[in-house]
């Protein structure tokens, strides 16, 4: 089937490449000429495992192409116009800015009209972007002004991929949601995904557009809640002398709870949870049906990131001023170079403001972080070794694989003080005991160091 993918950010590019991989013909459109040039030259504008090779193979097979000209895409008579453009939060009220979604739909509709209309085709405009309830219906009105009613359909097909394992998530989805008032559109979407659903498992949930749009927000709000719950319980564990890792296991083995998203960390971030929780709150408040649990989650998550700073400060005896702190990890999670709303972007500026000399290292996200963090009182190391040289403390912020199995016996020799503050709990306490450093983690007893430091970590 022929697919036009409008917007080649994380979602659009991964989805477009994967559609090509499963045999469809895909033309990708983006208004950013640099992105299209890069992609046309075989480069990818961001890091995602396996994506570059997949795009190259499908370009060579003639199944995927890139353009900034929507008319060029429309000329290929696509069966689907997927809209995967960004929906950032409005700064003033947290609501989702859907203007890009509307202009993408309108541009496609106008180009179809300019080409001479639909010529008997029945395109489906599929909203992949995460959008507030009502957006897809409005798209129907916008497109209808150019193409006339009943000549096309609109559907909501929200995306659940996780950055860092996006291809895997596309190829083996837990579920696919197809929301539309048009049965024909729902059937076409099922057909499009058929190569993924042949195993016979019931994967495609067909529903109304409104329900499909809300499923996405509800899923992200629930996951953000789960993360925030365990982060809060982790802090309580520290006060009580309990172990948050064992606590997670103890509750996660209960099938009603499940063990995923029960890993404590420095607070959720990324391009989705922060903005989607805010957008859900806005929608709910507009309708006088507040989602107070979600409101609390947003507040607690924000405070949690500041508790992380307190933890670092206390481990250093009450002040970070003039201390050299090595921060390992800037991406909001491992296997991505995305730093949008990353905990590092909250914690590092506080360290800078309080007078610390910060050296940061991330295997792939440093360039993106530099755009936000700047270069005052901060150094960007090219290697982990360079970052930790002479450090008074190492703070682990992202769960990169390369941070999990370091030889701390050797690394400690290069530090001014062998203090590791692990805000991802990458090491077991047994491993930490053998590391020969002071080790402070989340929701667990500190290891090594003197009693005073342990007391500091507990506060």
Stretch that binds ligand NAD, among 157-165, 227-235, 347-355, 371-379 (CB under 6 A): 157-165
The three-state secondary structure class of 78 is coil
Whichever of 155 and 161 has its CB closer to ligand NAD, that residue is: 161
Which among 155-163, 371-379, 409-417, 443-451 is the span making contact with ligand NAD, rule CB under 6 A? 155-163
Smallest distance, ligand NAD to C-beta of residue 275, A: 7
Residue 126 Cβ, how far from ligand NAD at the closest point, in Å? 12
User: Residue 293: which H helix or E strand, with range?
Assistant: helix 292-315
The residue within the footprint of ligand NAD, chosen from 35, 110, 226, 311 (CB under 6 A), is 35
Q: Is 47 in the site for ligand NAD (CB under 6 A)?
A: no
For 137, phi then psi, to 5°, come to -60, -40
In the block, residue with structure tokens 């000429």:
33
Strand 324-328 with 176-179, pairing: unpaired
339 binds ligand NAD (CB under 6 A): no
Quick one: which of 5, 12, 398, 456 contacts ligand NAD (CB under 6 A)?
Answer: 12
Give 84 or 315: the residue with its C-beta nearer to ligand NAD: 84
Which stretch, 9-17, 299-307, 374-382, 436-444, contacts ligand NAD (CB under 6 A)? 9-17
Burial of residue 440 (CB within 10 Å: 0-12, 13-18, 19+) is buried
Under the criterion CB under 6 A, does residue 21 sit at the interface with ligand NAD?
no
With CB atoms as reference, the residue minimizing the distance to ligand NAD is 9
Residue 27: how many CB atoms within 10 A of its CB?
23
Residue 272 is a catalytic residue? yes
Rule CB under 6 A: is residue 129 a binding residue for ligand NAD? yes
Point out which residues pair with 361 in neighbouring strands. Answer: 328
In the complex, minimum distance from the CB of residue 211 to ligand NAD, in angstroms, rounded to a whole number: 17
Q: Does 283 bind ligand NAD (CB under 6 A)?
A: no
Dist CA 290 CA 397 (whole Å): 33
Cα separation, 441 vs 231, in Å, equals 12
Is position 10 an interface residue for ligand NAD (rule: CB under 6 A)? yes
> Would you count residue 219 as binding ligand NAD (CB under 6 A)?
no
Structure tokens at 387: 């970052």
> Which of 10/193 has CB closer to ligand NAD?
10
Q: Tell me the C-alpha distance between 230 and 363, whole Å.
A: 27
Q: What's 150's DSSP letter?
A: T
Sign of CA dihedral 37, 41, 43, 44: positive
Shortest reach from residue 14's CB to ligand NAD, in Å? 8
- The residue range among 23-31, 149-157, 370-378, 395-403 that interacts with ligand NAD, by the rule CB under 6 A, is 23-31
In the list 76, 103, 151, 431, the residue contacting ligand NAD (rule: CB under 6 A) is: 103
Give whichever of 122 and 160 is closer to ligand NAD, judged by the CB atom.
Answer: 160
Contact 443, 416 (CB under 8 A): no
CA distances from 335 to 217, 237, 341, 362 (A): 24, 29, 16, 11
Establish if 99 lies at the interface with ligand NAD (CB under 6 A): no
6 in contact with ligand NAD (CB under 6 A)? yes
The answer to whether residue 156 forms part of the interface with ligand NAD (CB under 6 A) is no
Distance of CA 117 to the CA centre of its chain: 38
CB 437, CB 419: distance < 8 Å: yes
87 lines the binding site for ligand NAD (CB under 6 A):
yes
Q: How far apart are alpha carbons 273 and 298 in whole angstroms? A: 9
Burial of 326: CB neighbours in 10 Å, binned 0-12, 13-18, 19+ = buried
Question: Which residue is catalytic, options 4, 78, 237, 272?
Answer: 272
Q: Cβ 21 to ligand NAD, closest distance in Å?
A: 18
Q: Tokens 């008579």, residue? A: 77
Catalytic residues, by residue number, are 272
Q: Interface residues with ligand NAD (CB under 6 A)? A: 6-12, 29-32, 35, 84-87, 100, 103-104, 129-130, 159, 161, 163, 271-272
């Amino acid at each position: 089937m022929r697919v036009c993918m409008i917007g080649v950010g994380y979602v659009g590019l991964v989805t477009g490449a994967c559609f090509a991989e499963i045999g469809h013909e895909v033309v990708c459109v983006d208004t950013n000429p640099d992105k299209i040039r890069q992609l046309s030259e075989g480069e990818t504008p961001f890091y995602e495992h396996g994506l570059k090779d997949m795009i190259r193979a499908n370009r060579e097979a003639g199944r995927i192409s890139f353009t900034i000209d929507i008319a060029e895409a429309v000329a290929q008579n696509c069966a689907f116009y997927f809209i995967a453009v960004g929906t950032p939060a409005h700064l003033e009220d947290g609501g989702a800015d859907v203007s890009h979604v509307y202009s993408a739909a309108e541009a496609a509709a106008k180009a179809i009209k300019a080409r001479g209309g639909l010529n008997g085709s029945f395109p489906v405009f599929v909203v992949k972007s995460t959008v507030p309830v009502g957006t897809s219906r409005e798209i129907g009105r916008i497109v209808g002004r150019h193409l006339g009613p009943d000549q096309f359909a609109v559907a909501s097909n929200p995306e659940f991929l996780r950055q860092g394992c996006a291809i895997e998530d596309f190829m083996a989805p837990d579920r696919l949601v197809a929301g539309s008032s048009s049965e024909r559109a729902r059937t076409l979407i099922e057909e499009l995904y058929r190569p993924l659903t042949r195993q016979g498992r019931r994967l495609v949930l067909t529903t109304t557009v409104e329900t499909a749009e809300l499923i996405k927000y509800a899923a992200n709000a629930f996951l953000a809640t789960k993360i925030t719950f365990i982060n809060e319980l982790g802090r309580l564990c520290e006060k009580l002398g309990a172990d948050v890792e064992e606590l997670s296991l103890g509750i996660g083995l209960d099938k009603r709870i499940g063990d995923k998203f029960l890993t404590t960390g420095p607070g959720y971030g990324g391009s989705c949870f922060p903005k989607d929780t805010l957008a859900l709150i806005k929608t709910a408040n507009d309708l006088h049906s507040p989602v107070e649990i979600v409101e609390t989650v947003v507040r607690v998550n924000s405070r949690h990131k500041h508790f992380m700073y307190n933890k670092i400060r206390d481990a250093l005896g009450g002040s970070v001023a003039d201390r050299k702190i090595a921060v390992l990890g800037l991406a909001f999670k491992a296997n991505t170079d995305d730093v949008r709303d990353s905990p590092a972007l909250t914690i590092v500026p506080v360290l800078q403001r309080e007078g610390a000399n910060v050296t940061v290292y991330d295997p792939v996200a440093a360039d993106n972080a530099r755009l936000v963090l700047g270069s005052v009182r901060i150094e960007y190391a090219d290697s982990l070794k360079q970052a930790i040289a002479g450090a008074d403390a190492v703070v682990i912020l992202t769960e990169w694989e390369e941070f999990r199995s370091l030889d701390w016996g050797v690394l400690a020799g290069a530090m001014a003080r062998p203090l590791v503050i692990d805000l991802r709990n990458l090491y077991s306490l047994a491993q930490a005991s053998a590391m020969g450093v002071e080790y402070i983690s989340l929701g667990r007893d500190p290891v090594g160091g003197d009693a005073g430091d342990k007391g500091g970590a507990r506060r």
